[in-house]
């Protein structure tokens, strides 16, 4: 059994941003040498997410608007009594989820034709990390 760990760092210019990270996960997979197994891709923050969906800018815009509608930025969260102003980012992170597991078959990420891995930043403009943990043989 092999395991391999890589930490990716992202620093977005905007507060909310959606980054396509399939290439970085593929690169980690090549480094790992794993042929059959699973790759865990997990945000190490509570105001960010990782998801699998379409690499299409219109849809990414729709996702952003939809998340803002379901978990709006507004002042009246109790979390803000701690001095924070990012409660909406926590809720958006919970909606999107902070991690995915991608199957590995014959040395490749076994994704469907249109499936791509994204890092979803909801409180950016600073260094944030994603762990890629690969396990298999």
> Which residues bind to a copy of itself, rule: CB under 8 A?
1, 3, 5, 36-38, 40, 42-46, 51-54, 56, 58-59, 61-63, 66, 70-71, 77-82, 87, 90-91, 93-103, 105, 110-115, 129, 131, 133, 135-137
Nearest one of 84, 67, 62 to 75, comparing CA atoms: 84
Residue spans of alpha helices (H) in the chain: 22-32, 57-70, 87-96
CB nearer a copy of itself, residue 15 or residue 55: 55
| Distance of closest approach, residue 30 Cβ to a copy of itself, in angstroms | 18
| Distance of closest approach, residue 3 Cβ to a copy of itself, in angstroms | 4
Query: In the chain, what is the greatest distance between 2 CA atoms, to the nearest angstrom?
Result: 51
Cβ(40)–Cβ(132) under 8 Å?
A: yes
The DSSP symbol for 45 reads S
| Distance of closest approach, residue 102 Cβ to a copy of itself, in angstroms | 8
CB nearer a copy of itself, residue 30 or residue 97: 97
Nearest one of 44, 33, 9, 15 to 124, comparing CA atoms: 15
């Amino acid at each position: 059994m092999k395991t391999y760990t890589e930490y990716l760092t992202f620093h977005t210019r905007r507060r909310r941003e959606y980054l396509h990270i399939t290439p970085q996960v593929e690169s980690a997979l090549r480094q790992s040498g794993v042929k059959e197994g699973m790759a865990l891709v997990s945000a190490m923050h509570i105001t960010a997410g990782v998801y699998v969906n379409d690499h299409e800018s219109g849809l990414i815009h729709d996702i952003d608007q939809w998340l803002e509608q379901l978990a709006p930025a507004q002042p009246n969260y109790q979390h803000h009594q701690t001095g924070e102003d990012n409660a909406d980012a926590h809720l958006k992170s919970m909606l999107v989820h902070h991690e995915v597991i991608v199957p590995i078959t014959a040395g490749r990420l076994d994704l469907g034709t249109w499936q791509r891995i994204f890092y979803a930043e909801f409180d950016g403009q600073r260094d944030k990390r994603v762990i890629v943990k690969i396990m298999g043989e």
